[in-house]
Amino acid sequence: MKIGVSTASLYPTLLEDAVRLTAEGGVKDTEIFLNTFSEMEPQYVSELSRLIAAYRLNVVSVHPFTSGFEPFMLFQVYNRRTKDGFDLYRRFFNISATLGAKIFVLHGDKVGSTLPLYEYCERFLKLSELASFEGVTLTQENVNSFRASTPDFIRGMISCLGRRALFTFDVKQTVRAGSSPWEIYDAMRGHIAHMHLSDHDEKSDCLLPGKGNFDFEKLFRIALADGYTGSAVIEVYANAYTMPSQLFQSYRELCARYEAVENA
């Protein structure tokens, strides 16, 4: 398992500055969170790619800033807008490949949508095929207030899509949705391709790893037993710490905790 840090954890720091901070903080594996359309321009992507290479960072995944618009763009009934949405995401997949990312994170459709499950899965499959053309794996994240926040919907996707149903397991999102992290993990089991890690306690649903009561050792033991070899990046909100040094200290401590489990 590769332990890393998402640049989203440093938002609203400019992306290129977040990359520098991440690399200089000793992180080797990162998720790139694209924040706006100008960060999709070819010149910017090329410069960002060179910066990443100069720091010898490994980009494991890409997360788009358009996640909140996915129900409106990708999972609605106006076909022309759906086509335009797919064209936009084809560009995201190309950027992911340019940056070296193998994983792309999708939020999907909102809770309350009337789109039938089979049609949702058809669109997910089409997006997955577009991503695969670029050498990228599409993953569904379990995001609070989105349909994939429930074990039943996750199991429904697996039933429809089989091995093409792959997921990003996000700890904080399980807590925000009022679910047990272990319940969501079990629903995704065998289909997890990426993880977003954070801690929590009775007062906060998003803390730096080590600042709450989540059992990371249990997660690592289960993932290792399942043969998980993907990435697991710290993704927290900026209010989870006061200085970036605290984020990177949490990263180092989490790496040590993982290594202790792996070598036990």
* Global model pTM greater than 0.75: yes
Give the pLDDT of residue 148: 98
Among 204, 209, 211, 187, smallest CA distance to 255 is for 209
**Rounded to an integer, what is the distance from CA 39 to the centroid of its chain?**
18
Give the pLDDT of residue 220: 98
**Rounded to an integer, what is the distance from CA 113 to the centroid of its chain?**
22
Predicted confidence (pLDDT) per residue in 248-260, tens digit: 999 999 999 999 9
Q: Which helix (H) or strand (E) holds 197?
A: strand 192-197
**Rounded to an integer, what is the distance from CA 17 to the centroid of its chain?**
20
**Rounded to an integer, what is the distance from CA 3 to the centroid of its chain?**
13
Question: Rounded to the nearest 5°, which phi and psi values hold at 101?
Answer: -75, 140
What tokens does 174 get?
């399980």
Give the pLDDT of residue 14: 98
Number of domains in the chain: 1
Residue range(s) defining the domain that contains residue 76: 2-262
Token pair 């938002």: residue: 11
CATH code of 23's domain: 3.20.20.150
Which parts of the chain sit beneath pLDDT 70? none
Give the pLDDT of residue 256: 98
Predicted confidence (pLDDT) per residue in 13-63, tens digit: 999 999 999 999 999 999 999 999 999 999 999 999 999 999 999 999 999
Cβ–Cβ < 8 Å for 27, 2? no
